[in-house]
Amino acid sequence: MGPSALEWVERYLGHLQHERRLSTHTISNYQRDLSRLLEFGESGGFSDWSEVDPRAVRDFVAWRHRRGAGGRSLQRELSALRGFFNYLLREGVVRNNPGADIPAPKSEKRLPRALDVDQTAHLLEIKGDEPLVRRDRAVMELIYSSGLRLSEAVGLDLDSVDRHDASVRVIGKGSKARVVPVGREALKALSEWLQVRSQLAPIEEKALFVSQRGGRLSARSVQQRMREWGIKQGLDSRVHPHMLRHSFASHILESSGDLRAVQELLGHADIATTQIYTHLDFQHLAKVYDKAHPRARKRRED
């Protein structure tokens, strides 16, 4: 490819910096992605931007895929390509955007790792009666007991938990409220935490979980403390709050097989999200269908 091709990339990056005022990090990402497009052109894919057509874009995607690029990377690179050609179109260098109708390959869903039952029990068996230890134990027990998101856990107020009814009212995504059960061990840990909460929290503080300074506990602090507890408890995996939520869903589903119930407990609007979240595979669905569907039973009996 001639120097003019590289020059247009440099002009586009300048446009991103000075006209669109994107961050240095974002511009660096665009530069990296477009450098791969330039590399493809230099390898024989095309010699000028005006030569790039939808077929060349498909060839580029296949070329990157052969070199190990995954779905997410290809999605990002195609997005960079489309943005660049929109700029060239505006500048009159090309007559159309060859990447406009090229779909990006689907990327595999990354499933969060779950702890098994024994690992979870070991993590939650943290010793100590200090206020911070009691608080951490209560946070982790509640997330695992009720399948809470991290944001839901740190957003709880004192009146969010009904210890008499063994339930907690949480505000989930889209400000949707739901009430979920709280298990025996979580209630016990919460009671132990509430006995010492006043040592940290001022009387006017409404947050259920507070920091050492007395304000509402932050999500970042929970992440850091859980990571530290995972190390102290000798777990191989890097422990984080979402792992406990996923463990809750996996353990409930394994025991009950009730996908709809897990959907309600997790606060998912779409059951497809729950199905992915709990890595429910087709074999499990087939077994449930075979056992439960009247026609399936009839076929088997025949």
Q: How confident is the model at residue 131 (pLDDT cuts 50, 70, 90)?
A: very high
The answer, yes or no, to whether residue 280 has pLDDT greater than 70, is: no
Residue 160 C-alpha from the chain's centroid: 25
Name the nearest CA neighbour of 140 among 192, 203, 84, 94.
192
The answer, yes or no, to whether residue 223 has pLDDT greater than 60, is: yes
Q: At what angle do helices 259-266 and 241-256 cross, to 10 degrees?
A: 150
Q: DSSP letter string over 142-198? A: HHHHHT--HHHHHT-BGGGEETTTTEEEEE-GGG-EEEEE--HHHHHHHHHHHHHGG
Highest-confidence segment of 60-64, 205-209, 250-254: 205-209
Domains of the chain: 3-90 (1.10.150.130), 117-287 (1.10.443.10)
Mean predicted confidence (pLDDT) in 104-127: 80
Q: How confident is the model at residue 247 (pLDDT cuts 50, 70, 90)?
A: confident
Q: How confident is the model at residue 299 (pLDDT cuts 50, 70, 90)?
A: very low
Range with the lowest mean pLDDT among 56-60, 73-77, 143-147, 259-263?
Answer: 259-263
Range with the lowest mean pLDDT among 64-68, 123-127, 223-227?
Answer: 64-68
Mean predicted confidence (pLDDT) in 149-159: 94
Q: How confident is the model at residue 242 (pLDDT cuts 50, 70, 90)?
A: confident
**Model pTM above 0.85:** no
| 175-199: pLDDT as tens digits | 888 888 888 899 999 999 999 999 9
The answer, yes or no, to whether residue 257 has pLDDT greater than 80, is: no
pLDDT at 288: 57
- Total length of the chain: 302
In whole numbers, what is the pLDDT of the chain averaged over residues?
84
Does 223 or 116 have the greater pLDDT score? 223
Q: In terms of C-beta density within 10 A (0-12 exposed, 13-18 middle, 19 or more buried), how is residue 263 classed?
A: buried
The answer, yes or no, to whether residue 294 has pLDDT greater than 80, is: no
Which residues belong to the active site?
149, 173, 242, 245, 268, 277
